[in-house]
Structure 1
Amino acid sequence: MSTSSVPRPESPAKFTPDRPAVVRRPPAGLLPALALFTAVRLAGVAVVVVANHAMGHPLVKNLAHLWDARWYLHIAAHGYGDLITITRRGAVQTDWAFFPLYPGLVRALTTVLPLTPGKAALAVAWTAAVVAAWGVYRIGDHLYGRSVATALVALWAVLPQSVELTVAYTESLFSALAAWSLYCVLRGRWLWAGVLATLAGLSRPSGFAVAAAVLVAGAYEAVRRRGRVPAGLWAGCLLAPLGWLGYVLWVGQRTGSLLHGYFKVQSAWDSRFDFGRGSLLLLKSLLLHGGAFVYAASLVIVAVGILLFCLLCLDRAPLALVVFAGVLLLVVLGGSGSFSSKPRFLLPAFPLLIPLAQALVRSWRSRPAQAVVVLGALTAVSMLFGAYVVAVARSPL
């Protein structure tokens, strides 16, 4: 595996990592891909609107105030340290469990525009989703060409858990920062990769996956070059983990336990790394006693994610993409907490879709009708599953 790019089929080019950035026109297929992504996600919102109406739920409140979104909105309006809840088991849950970048952007938007926090949160999430799709396209186009890039964006838009891109959660923002940081790694723009990884680390707990990808890819590049690397590479690698580390240490300082404080805060939310014990117990329960549909669906999504990661490795994808997807998958498999939330944690792991995107393009070229049927079926499943979890099941996301 290598951090350098795989030549695209349409126009092979020599990789020049230290080439300065220049202003170029958008790639020819970018706008159609983004239009496709936007159309699919707007259709998803429309289906949620219908489901909300049928269930008697208000739309904006349902999309902007679900579960964790309420905590982000409270942080945006009042800052940290003001919201505490006590669970039925007596655990003290505080808002320090939530990273600051998303509520900070919501607060900034409400300051300059006449928007409620809920509408501002949706505006940030929806805008970030389009920026993320843009970054996903650029990675696919850079590595494999326009056709695979378009298929990659389309598949990411129709994931069953892609409804998370239309609620007031951090997945859109994290995905955008991760995609563009990884793109900068692939292009050898290490300083920008480090800056974006820092911001990704401020967006959510799994933000360290981007830092890990930058650090491992940077170390590989340094070894490949026998230490003769530009200063930007070292700077990018030093910057990459600072956002995540900075917030974790800040929480530790506030709690009086610098190194362990944040993890104690997360434990109150039943969020810890238990090496997969919780996941295995749920699997045993589902096999022996059955369970809610959303848990069975989550189990299928995670199992497919494992298979796709194996295919990604066999495809010899660039190291940065493999590390990023692998760390996110490890967090999902080894972390405790609500199993219905695990598909959401895998949503930013778009590199897992690369083997499927390549297969979809091959199918389109040989049997276009079959490719249309497959993509149409995935779209229908995505719409229905999204409406179900948001408006009907209302399970933890």
Structure 2
Amino acid sequence: MRWPWWVQVAAVYVAARMVSACIFMAAALHQGVNPWFPAKPDYWHFINIWDARWYGDVIDNGYPTELPVDSAGNVQENAWAFYPVFPLLGRALSAATGLVPPVSLTLIAMLAGFAASFVVYSLFRHRTEHGAALWGVAFFATFPVSAILQVPYAESLNILLLASALLLVLRRHYLLAIPVVVLMALSRPTGVPFAAMAGILFLYRLWEAWQGTGRRADPGRHHGKTHSPRELWALAALTAASGISALLWPAIAWATTGDIAAYTKTETVWRGHDLVPFKPWFDTGVLLFGPVLGLAAPFVFAAVFALFLLSRPVAQLGTELRLWCACYMGYLIVFLHPQTSTFRMLLPLFPLALGAVLVSRSKAYRGAVLTMFILLQIVWVVWLWAWAELPGGGDYPP
């Protein structure tokens, strides 16, 4: 604890990534025949599978100008499902250094995850003292799907941009957050929930300012907290920019292919049916729990999550971070098709890591959570990252 805070954060994050690397290498020793390489691959081959191949394809071939279709006219899997910032950075690094795309993408992912740990710490320090913030970074770095932060996926870059945007929002640097949000919205599909968060936050801060100045009731209550007119205008600009950013990638896909639904058609290829809000959650509920409990399961899940956000430890995260978590989970409930990739998509809820820390100051509790996260990380890598063909062909995606 005598080390500078940034050394402590770096040590925690690097140690977590070394643990994940050991898990990957151990799982690779048991990897059998698969679609990408011979059995028992080395570490670097093992982490360059699944969507990593799609990002490499974007670097090599770009995005198609026509959506690929089968003989029946159904859109097939294609690169439009993968947002451009991550592969464009990989292409730039490869061009500048001569590195092959898989190495460039891996380096970017690892450096972005490393940088994200410092931003996450700074974000948490706005809400708590150093020790709890450092534990929050440890929970974030060892979360069961945190191994994804060191493979050639866009998650680590997206978390870096998302955490930076949230930090700027907490500091009320709304205009500075706009370019960060644009890049974030073009790295992973987090633009829609961020726009929703910004819009609701603007309305709340507007109401708060009106309560403090318009009614002139208890003028000292909001001292140092209410937003000035200038800050409200800046937050309104961030809201508008976030909404536009959320639509940028679908618009680019439309402009390039000539199909207004190019992006949504591509995204729904992987789920096997058209996009119908909310319905996949009920379908999955019925599949898992039966026709009666299955229909109630999504409502129970939403209620439990809402109670969690209202709990005392999570309340300490503050308005902005709780609002982000609520909007992102709401986005998943509306649009997501729940399946094994859902675990990976929970990573943007990383502010809840601090809420988990604040449940108790007990080192035994925090150590137990950390241990459980690492054990579940082994489960995630062995179950979902490693390839094991199912009886009907294919495998569950990570």
Q: Same fold (TM over 0.5)?
A: yes
Please name the residue that 1:150 is paired with. Answer: 134
TM-score in terms of structure 2 length: 0.79
Q: CA contact under 8 A between 2:67 and 2:75: conserved in structure 1?
A: no
Q: How does 1:69-148 map to 2 (within 5 A)?
A: 69-81=52-64, 90-148=74-132
Q: Deviations over 1:369-396 (max 9, x none)?
A: 4433342233233234324322254621
Alpha-carbon offset, residue 137 of structure 1: 0.9
Distance in 2 separating the partners of 1:128 and 1:306: 34
Distance in 1 separating the partners of 2:344 and 2:196: 20
Matched AA of 2:182: T
Tell me the SS of whatever aligns to 1:137: helix
**What is the Cα-based RMSD across aligned positions, in Å?**
3.1
Please name the residue that 1:385 is paired with. Answer: 380
Please name the residue that 1:329 is paired with. Answer: 329
My pick for the range that moved more, 180-189 or 214-223, is 214-223
Aligned length: 354
Q: How does 1:297-312 map to 2 (within 5 A)?
A: 307=304, 310-312=307-309
Verify: 1:253 aligned to 2:248, yes or no: no
Q: Deviations over 1:121-180 (max 9, x none)?
A: 111111111122212111111111212211211111222121221221111111111111
Please name the residue that 1:185 is paired with. Answer: 169
Q: CA contact under 8 A between 1:71 and 1:95: conserved in structure 2?
A: yes
Q: Deviations over 1:31-82 (max 9, x none)?
A: 312311221122111111121023213432221232x221111111221117
Tell me which of 274, 279, 285 is aligned to 2:276: 274
Q: Deviations over 1:64-109 (max 9, x none)?
A: 232x221111111221117966679944233222211111111111
Matched AA of 1:228: P
TM-score in terms of structure 1 length: 0.79
Verify: 1:351 aligned to 2:335, yes or no: no
Distance in 2 separating the partners of 1:304 and 1:149: 28
Alpha-carbon offset, residue 278 of structure 1: 2.1
Q: CA contact under 8 A between 2:65 and 2:257: conserved in structure 1?
A: no
Unpaired runs of 5+ residues, structure 2, are: 32-39, 211-227, 291-296, 389-394
Q: CA contact under 8 A between 1:125 and 1:166: conserved in structure 2?
A: yes
Change (3 A) 1:83 1:28: farther
Alpha-carbon offset, residue 325 of structure 1: 1.4
Change (3 A) 1:122 1:338: farther
Q: CA contact under 8 A between 1:75 and 1:95: conserved in structure 2?
A: yes
Change (3 A) 1:306 1:102: farther
Unpaired runs of 5+ residues, structure 1, are: 1-26, 289-298
My pick for the range that moved more, 86-95 or 97-106, is 86-95
Distance in 2 separating the partners of 1:206 and 1:28: 33
Tell me the SS of whatever aligns to 2:17: helix
Whichever of the two has the greater Rg, that structure is 2
Change (3 A) 1:232 1:374: closer
Matched AA of 2:238: G
Tell me the SS of whatever aligns to 2:351: helix
Distance in 2 separating the partners of 1:386 and 1:318: 33
Distance in 1 separating the partners of 2:108 and 2:71: 33
Please name the residue that 1:292 is paired with. Answer: none
Please name the residue that 1:295 is paired with. Answer: none
Please name the residue that 1:286 is paired with. Answer: 288
Change (3 A) 1:284 1:191: same
Matched AA of 2:79: D
Q: CA contact under 8 A between 1:65 and 1:118: conserved in structure 2?
A: no
Change (3 A) 1:335 1:346: same
Please name the residue that 1:237 is paired with. Answer: 239
Q: CA contact under 8 A between 2:75 and 2:265: conserved in structure 1?
A: no
Alpha-carbon offset, residue 338 of structure 1: 5.8
Verify: 1:371 aligned to 2:366, yes or no: yes
My pick for the range that moved more, 348-357 or 84-93, is 84-93
Change (3 A) 1:49 1:318: same
Matched AA of 2:308: L
Please name the residue that 2:7 is paired with. Answer: 31
